[in-house]
Amino acid sequence: MKPQDLVFYQIYPRSFCDANGDGEGDVAGIISKIPYLKDLGVNAVWISPCFRSPGVDSGYDISDYRDIDPRTGDLSSFCRMIDAFHAVGIKVILDFVANHTSTEHPWFLEAKSSKDNPYRDYYIWRKTPPNDWQSAFGGSAWEYDAATEEYYLHSYAVEQADLNWENPKVREEMCAVVDFWLDLGVDGFRCDVLDQISKDFAGQNGNGPRLHEFIRELFGREKTKDIFTVGECWSADGENVRQLCGADRGELTTVFTFGHLCLDGGKFTTDRASLKEACRRLAEWQTLCETLGVINTAFFENHDLPRAVSRFGDDGQYRYESATLLGAIVLLSRGVPFLYQGQELGLTNSHYTDVSMFRDVEILNYYETNKDTLSPDELFARICAGGRDNARRPMPWDEISQDNFWIPDGTRRAEINARADLSAQRSVYRTFQRLIDLRKAEPALREGGFVCREITDDRFVFSRVTAEEEITLVCSLGKSTPIPSCEGELLFSNYEKVGEDLLPYQFVIFKKRS
Ligand code: TEU
């Protein structure tokens, strides 16, 4: 199967489905929802980390790469889950967290025990910090260890120590981790902050000089030649992407880049994000990747991002319309589309006014750093708009909230939940289903070129084109606006009627023979 034939759905296990009622999503819960995913039409899932972990960064701080966290399940249930996905034709990729381990990982416990421990060099130690790198979650990225009188690097939380990829033993260990999961049947990996594994201590923390060599050492092997890999590469520009994407050269199938989502104002901002600007950048990136001949990804959401319908759409009156419009943009784009759990229900951000509602280390650090300088209203408004917990609230399967869940709910569950959406006349899920079906039915949506027709304040129009057909998506970016003249057969819209004007957040899809 070609990468473009895949439609991915990201599962964040802790918050997906709690089958045993202990307050944590689990493997049994995921298995119970396979029919729901199959019906939606996705044919691949990315499972966020649920390996053994102290849980400081919700699983991205791994203390055992080869075991499943007991809160989520165990290795044998996890393997049953992989088989159950495969049985219905859904591929499974796992998160591969290569840049850092938990400081509870046995390697780090050994490493910090003494300077001459054989594991010392698995991590990055310095007598004095060689630069002023900051941790992504705030504060210096160098942490002093009083016992051995050196600093170690942590690009993320203090409890996430960066591995030293210059050490060949680390590279061997990481290849062995990849092989362990391939032997258990997984189809590939989403590689967490992969562009940070090679360091350039005199420059930025990313895209170091040995990055491509390290990636080829991991994925340029006989055993890895047919797997699907997607690297999370925040700092990649066109040239980096050209080098990174090339499974035939032992590098990656594709990458996640974030240019269309890193808009002015930063992460914790209440400034309204511009849908037009996001579309403009997305279109630019689509065109560039096509010119470069690489496979790109298409997405608006993941477990680190606020809900797209709240950020770019209208999560009040036009929630159904804007959620489905954003879905249409992703699912009709060039490359490999990724949906995030709950996006298919049009889940929204919620508003909270008490710090006890949050669990994310990034939010809590931001809160601590800013609580004395910002007013509580401003601080909560920022956290609620940009915080990662928006994506990590429990998946609302029905209207009943679970009191003992690891993260408090407080979402609009009574109104927005899977049961309600599936029986609603205007169901976000059903519209996503139709869009996925369309992508499967129309080669142009998988193989076709990307042609941006128009981006104005009011409209975004693009076509996917092959020698035989042309499929055009016409979007209202929020207001009523005339439909530009589009030839061809009307396939469908997220409104019942298609008139002379597009209505707010309406999309219309046309098909024409070339
Ligand atoms: O994210 C990398 C990353 O850069 C984000 O942490 C980003 O800086 C932040 O979300 C922006 O607000 C990956 C994972 O997706 C994330 O969940 C992890 O926390 C992080 O790596 C560390 O493993």
Strand partners, 493: 508
What positions carry a catalytic annotation? 192, 232
Residues in Cβ contact with 501 at an 8 Å cutoff, skipping those fewer than 6 apart: 480, 481, 482, 483
Is any ligand 1 atom within 6 A of the Cβ of residue 57?
yes
Is any ligand 1 atom within 6 A of the Cβ of residue 157?
no
Compute the residue count for the chain. Answer: 514
If one residue of 50, 60, 235, 257 were mutated to test the ligand 1 pocket, choosing by the most ligand atoms within 8 A of its CB, it would be 60
**CA dist list (Å): 171 to 154, 198, 217, 220, 253:** 18, 11, 8, 13, 20
Instruction: Please provide the DSSP assignment of 396-426 as one string.
Output: -SSSPPPTT-SS---SSTTTS-HHHHHHSSS
- Ligand 1 centre distance from Cα of residue 115 (Å): 30
Is any ligand 1 atom within 6 A of the Cβ of residue 453?
no
Residues in Cβ contact with 280 at an 8 Å cutoff, skipping those fewer than 6 apart: 455
Q: Which residue has the tokens 């964040």?
A: 12
* Euclidean distance between CA atoms 209 and 220, whole angstroms: 18
What amino acid occupies position 288? Answer: L
Cβ contact 33:49 at 8 Å: no
Record the tokens describing residue 424, joined without a space: 């609603």
Q: What is the pLDDT of residue 235?
A: 81
Q: What is the pLDDT of residues 164-193, one digit of tens each?
A: 999 999 999 999 999 999 999 999 999 999
Helix (H) or strand (E) holding 284: helix 275-292
**Which pLDDT tens digits describe the chain residue by residue (514 residues)?**
899 999 999 999 999 999 999 999 999 999 999 999 999 999 999 999 999 999 999 999 999 999 999 999 999 999 999 999 999 999 999 999 999 999 999 999 999 999 999 999 999 999 999 999 999 999 999 999 999 999 999 999 999 999 999 999 999 999 999 999 999 999 999 999 999 999 999 999 999 999 999 999 999 999 999 999 999 998 889 999 999 999 999 999 999 999 999 987 789 999 878 999 999 999 999 999 999 999 999 999 999 999 999 999 999 999 999 999 999 999 999 999 999 999 999 999 999 999 999 999 999 999 999 999 999 999 999 999 999 999 999 999 999 999 999 999 999 999 999 999 999 999 999 999 999 999 999 999 999 999 999 999 999 999 999 999 999 999 999 999 999 887 799 999 999 999 999 999 999 999 999 8
Structural domains of the chain, ranges and CATH numbers in brackets: 3-100+168-422 (3.20.20.80), 106-162 (3.90.400.10), 449-513 (2.60.40.1180)
Q: What is the 3-state secondary structure (H, E, C) of 199-225?
A: CCCCCCCCCCCCHHHHHHHHHCCHHHC
If one residue of 102, 135, 156 were mutated to test the ligand 1 pocket, choosing by the most ligand atoms within 8 A of its CB, it would be 156
Instruction: Map residue 460 onto helix, strand or coil.
Output: strand
What amino acid occupies position 57? Answer: D
* Euclidean distance between CA atoms 418 and 431, whole angstroms: 13
- pTM higher than 0.85: yes
CA atoms within 13 A of residue 510's CA, in its CB half-sphere:
17
